[in-house]
Amino acid sequence: MSQNEEKLTNAIKTLTKLSQARKIVQEKQEEALANRKYIEILFSNKKLLPDDFKNIKESLETIKLFAQANLRYKEALANAEEAKIIVDKALESIDSANEE
């Protein structure tokens, strides 16, 4: 595999990671925001019942999944700009060859 092919393969992998992370972020964001209220319950003076603790635990897991996906998305986004340029150059070469 040539160096350019390897760069293109890595660029596609990077863009795939970005796509996967964005999908999870979009799927989990609304659910995580809805579960944010359970964090507030922890800081209230209200006596918590066993079901409250169960709900809090489940909510924190959802929030954690969203937050992790959001971090992965931001990392992937930072790397994706270079990947996008590599893919654009590869596509540009195809377009240029077809025009000649």
pLDDT in tens, the chain (100 residues): 789 899 999 999 999 999 998 998 999 899 999 999 999 999 999 999 999 999 999 999 999 999 998 998 998 898 899 999 999 998 886 656 566 5
> What Å distances lie between residue 34 and 47, 67, 85, CA to CA?
21, 14, 37
**Which residue range is the domain that position 50 belongs to?**
3-99
pTM: 0.70
Total domains present in the chain: 1
